[in-house]
């Protein structure tokens, strides 16, 4: 046993490598670790740069200077200028009708003038919310003490629409017009319709250029209808003035393009408009307040711009890329509807569309919400490979109140990414509350998805149920 030890040593010594040979082997063994370390460090540097850019984009777009980016307002134009300049710096090609910009009409017709006034029992009501002048209203004032269910000449009439036989009329608009004409012929100084049951959106859709009537005519919402329908009311003190003014409101889509001379195109979109100071009465706080819209949807725009930057620098060349910053999202998705009807690329060549809307409040407990998974049979497989270490809530439907819907209706596979909706349509949706690391996480999922689908054939489209739960705006 004692003799075996030196023998082993001799064997080991006999097979020991030359010092230079050992150094080469050691370097070879360390090389993967060095490369891996360099890659990790490069990735961290890229992430830091991306996070800085995300913060820069969101801080500017949600700043007081842009006044809530209401469609058609000066703040929207400032935002459009910023986004188009960022697209230019990235190296995208302009794809709008005027450089990067594509203008569209949101609304053309009439709206209540600033002189409109309606006081009920000395309480000032809000035009567009509590009441809407009907399109045939006269530009005129009226006042009086009105007894419920006692419509008399030379006074304001209250008309309960629920008591009218609507089958006598071809449409609801005709009902209101003819009932107003009848009241005017009977000596009414103004007419107020309550318990109509229509939505304010429907009433506003009637406000187009038309000849004015003889007396003021007003529609009131359900809350004011309850007041006027109160059986215990003795009388109402009413003072009003109605006037409509012509209005043409336009929005601006911002469109950039990466042309890889490929057969198919991927659309990546996000809306950049928001609520302004609540002028359209779609905010959840009463009064004139600034809605910053950091999560909704400066976060989506910021991510879209950074994805565009990365794709421009990438080797992914099997698709072209169309990047669209939509306006008019808060106005019935009018911007995405317009683009889908007036696309700068042939929609039959579009591979798929990805929509980023409110991705700045990622909560690990709730995860990323992804809708549209049922719009292509390929989505599930791709998402299983792209989403790592992050909780995901899937929904199959391609229908929802965001901008992907217009493309789904063109038989294009879509995905809709969003996160938590805290401070939705509230003034508190500010940049300081954004989860920037979470926004980067969503970005990486989208980029990995595009990467994994790069070599695939054009995705097949599948129709889905027209319902979306849990992730919609």
Digit-coded pLDDT (tens) for 290-307: 999 999 999 999 999 999
User: What pLDDT digit, counting tens, does each position of 203-216 carry?
Assistant: 988 998 777 889 99
- When mean pLDDT is compared across 79-88, 145-154, 185-194, the lowest value belongs to 145-154
> How far is it, in rounded angstroms, from Cα 221 to Cα 452?
51
Beta bridge partners of 143: 239
Is residue 259 pLDDT above 90, yes or no?
yes
The two three-digit tokens of residue 458, written as one number = 């054009």
- Residue 205's pLDDT is 87
Is residue 22 pLDDT above 70, yes or no?
no
Is residue 6 pLDDT above 50, yes or no?
no
SS3 127: strand
DSSP string, 441-469: HHHHHHHHHHHHTTTSPPPPP----S---
- When mean pLDDT is compared across 239-243, 286-290, 378-382, the lowest value belongs to 286-290
Beta bridge partners of 336: none
Is residue 396 pLDDT above 90, yes or no?
yes
Beta bridge partners of 324: 255, 269
Is residue 11 pLDDT above 70, yes or no?
no
Q: Which CATH number fits domain 49-109+249-452: 3.40.630.10, 3.40.640.10, 3.40.50.20, 3.20.20.140?
A: 3.40.630.10
Q: Does the global pTM surpass 0.85?
A: no
Chain region(s) in the chain for CATH 3.50.30.30: 114-242
What average pLDDT score do residues 399-419 get?
97
- Whole-angstrom CA distances from 24 to 16, 38, 256 are 14, 20, 50
Chain region(s) in the chain for CATH 3.40.630.10: 49-109+249-452
- Name the band, by pLDDT with cuts 50, 70 and 90, for residue 117: very high
Q: Which helix (H) or strand (E) holds 439?
A: helix 436-452
Are residues 331 and 304 in contact, defined by beta-carbon separation less than 8 angstroms?
Answer: no
Which CATH code for domain 114-242?
3.50.30.30
């Amino acid at each position: 046993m004692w003799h075996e030890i030196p023998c082993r040593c001799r064997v080991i010594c006999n097979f020991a490598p030359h010092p230079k040979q050992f150094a080469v082997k050691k370097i070879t063994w360390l090389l993967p670790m060095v490369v891996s370390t360099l890659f990790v460090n490069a990735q961290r540097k890229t992430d830091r740069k991306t996070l800085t850019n995300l913060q820069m984009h969101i801080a500017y777009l949600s700043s007081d200077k842009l006044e809530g980016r209401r469609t058609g307002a000066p703040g929207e134009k400032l935002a459009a200028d910023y986004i188009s300049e960022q697209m230019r710096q990235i190296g995208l090609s302009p794809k709008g009708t005027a450089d990067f910009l594509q203008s569209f009409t949101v609304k053309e017709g009439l709206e209540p003038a600033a002189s409109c006034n309606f006081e009920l029992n000395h309480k000032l009501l809000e035009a567009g919310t509590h009441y809407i002048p009907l399109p045939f209203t006269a530009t005129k004032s009226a006042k009086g003490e009105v007894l419920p269910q006692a419509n008399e000449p030379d006074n304001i009439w209250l008309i309960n629409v629920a008591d009218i036989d609507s089958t006598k009329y071809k449409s609801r608009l005709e009902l209101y017009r003819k009932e107003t004409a009848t009241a005017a012929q009977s000596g009414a100084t103004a007419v107020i319709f309550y318990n109509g049951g229509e939505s304010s959106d429907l009433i506003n859709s009637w406000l187009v250029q038309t000849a004015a009537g003889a007396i003021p005519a007003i529609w009131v919402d359900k809350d004011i209808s309850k007041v006027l329908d109160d059986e215990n009311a003795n009388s109402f003190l009413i003072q009003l003035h109605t006037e409509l003014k012509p209005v043409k409101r336009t929005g601006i889509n911002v469109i950039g393009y990466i042309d890889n001379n490929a057969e198919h195109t991927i659309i990546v979109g996000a809306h950049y408009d928001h609520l302004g100071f609540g002028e359209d009465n779609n905010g959840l706080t009463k009064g004139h307040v600034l809605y910053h819209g950091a999560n909704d949807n400066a976060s989506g725009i910021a991510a879209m711009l950074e994805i565009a930057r990365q794709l421009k620098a990438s080797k992914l060349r099997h698709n072209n890329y169309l990047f669209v910053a939509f306006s008019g999202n808060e106005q019935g998705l009018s911007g995405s509807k317009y683009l889908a009807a007036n696309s700068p690329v042939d929609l039959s060549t579009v591979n798929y569309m990805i929509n980023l809307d409110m991705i700045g409040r990622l909560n690990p407990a709730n995860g990323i919400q992804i809708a549209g998974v049922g719009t292509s049979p390929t989505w599930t497989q791709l998402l299983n490979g792209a989403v790592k270490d992050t909780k995901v809530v899937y929904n199959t439907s391609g229908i929802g109140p965001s901008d992907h819907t217009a493309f789904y209706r063109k038989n294009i596979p879509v995905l809709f990414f969003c996160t938590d909706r805290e401070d939705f349509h509230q003034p508190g949706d500010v940049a300081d509350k954004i989860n920037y690391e979470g926004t980067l996480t969503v970005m990486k999922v989208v980029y990995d998805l595009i990467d994994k689908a790069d070599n695939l054939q054009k995705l097949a489209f599948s129709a889905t149920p027209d319902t979306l739960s849990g992730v919609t705006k």
